[in-house]
């Protein structure tokens, strides 16, 4: 009996020691490092912050048009396969901050156009990096321009969770609204078009205070990975585009334009 008690005590002590060691290891584990500069892309924070539900119904009640968005993560894209699958429009990451340019931009931007798609470019915003005007000029000069050829969509401002640090980039809601306004005004001065705003409702509410003042000019591209689009940011009564999944066929990020193909073309024409 004494031997059994001694063995039980020793086992308990060993287990307690292991638990303490595990807890100490967890406490001293290094934090996950941020991703490398330039690696940000549309929707990379959606699942972490908003979660992910099911896919929307395959046959939407209103006519909608399938699209995709791509960045350097997709590399050289098989545009012919996407076109054959029913994808008719695309957005391609052009720039990030004030120094990054997508090395696959030409293949993606021209390749989508060459198979017949209506395409546009987007800029991943880093509001803690430089002013909105500076980033809008960088974008417009490096792939984010626009022409009335019926096949080029206005540039999109990708404004969402900061993958490199604090989710609101260290800005108050008023400062964030001012930064976005600076970007939008400069982009319109450069191109003659109002930029599309890509965002997620939860981020917009947190980081802009749910500001409603851009809805009258900028089309909304909302990110939500679920069966319905859900609540929209303040001011917008409807969405123009909806990024509904990051796990779609051929390339992950799939979207629906809220209208038939002629409405996509109308947005391109301005």
For residue 73, the tally of other CB atoms under 10 A from its CB is 15
- Residue 66 annotated as catalytic: no
Going 182 to 187 to 65 to 216, the CA torsion angle's sign is positive
Q: Could you write out the DSSP letters of every residue in 61-84?
A: SS--EEEEEE-GGG-S--HHHHHH
Separation in Å, CA 6 to CA 15, 16, 157, 267 = 14, 15, 68, 79
Q: Looking up tokens 């987007």, which residue turns up?
A: 122
Specify the pairing of strand 241-245 against strand 254-257.
antiparallel
Give phi and psi for 172, each to the nearest 5. -75, 165
- Residue in 50, 96, 158, 253 annotated catalytic: 158
Cα Rg of the chain, angstroms: 23
Choosing from 48, 50, 66, 69, the catalytic residue is 69
45 C-beta neighbours (distance < 10 Å), count: 18
Distance between CA 243 and CA 197 in Å, rounded? 12
Q: Is 69 a catalytic residue?
A: yes
Cβ proximity of 145 and 192 under 8 Å: no
160 is catalytic: yes
Instruction: Point out the catalytic residue in the list 50, 96, 160, 194.
Output: 160
Tokens of 125: 């915003």
**Which residues participate in catalysis according to the annotation?**
69, 158, 160
């Amino acid at each position: 009996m004494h031997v059994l008690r001694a063995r039980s005590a020793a086992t308990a002590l060993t287990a307690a020691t292991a638990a303490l060691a595990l807890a100490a290891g967890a406490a001293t584990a290094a934090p996950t490092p941020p991703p490398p500069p330039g690696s940000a892309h549309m929707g990379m924070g959606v699942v972490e912050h908003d979660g992910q539900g099911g896919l929307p119904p395959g046959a939407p009640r209103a006519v909608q048009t399938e699209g995709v968005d791509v960045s350097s993560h997709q590399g050289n894209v098989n545009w012919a396969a996407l076109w054959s699958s029913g994808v008719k429009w695309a957005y391609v990451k052009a720039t990030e901050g004030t120094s990054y340019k997508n090395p696959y931009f030409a293949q993606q931007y021209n390749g989508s156009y060459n198979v017949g798609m209506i395409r546009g470019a987007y800029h991943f915003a880093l509001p803690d990096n430089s002013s909105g005007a500076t980033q809008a000029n960088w974008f417009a000069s490096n792939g984010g321009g626009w022409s009335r050829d019926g096949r080029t969509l206005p540039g999109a401002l990708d404004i969402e969770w900061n993958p490199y640090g604090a989710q609101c980039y260290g800005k108050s809601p008023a400062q964030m609204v001012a930064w976005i306004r600076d970007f939008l005004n400069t982009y319109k001065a450069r191109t003659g078009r109002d930029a599309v705003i890509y965002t997620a409702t939860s981020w917009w509410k947190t980081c802009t205070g749910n500001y409603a003042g851009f809805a009258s000019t900028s089309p909304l591209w909302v990110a939500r990975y679920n069966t319905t689009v859900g609540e929209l940011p303040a001011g917008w009564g409807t969405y123009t585009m909806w990024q509904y999944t990051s796990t779609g066929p051929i390339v992950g990020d799939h979207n629906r334009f809220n209208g038939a193909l002629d409405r996509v073309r109308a947005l391109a024409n301005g």
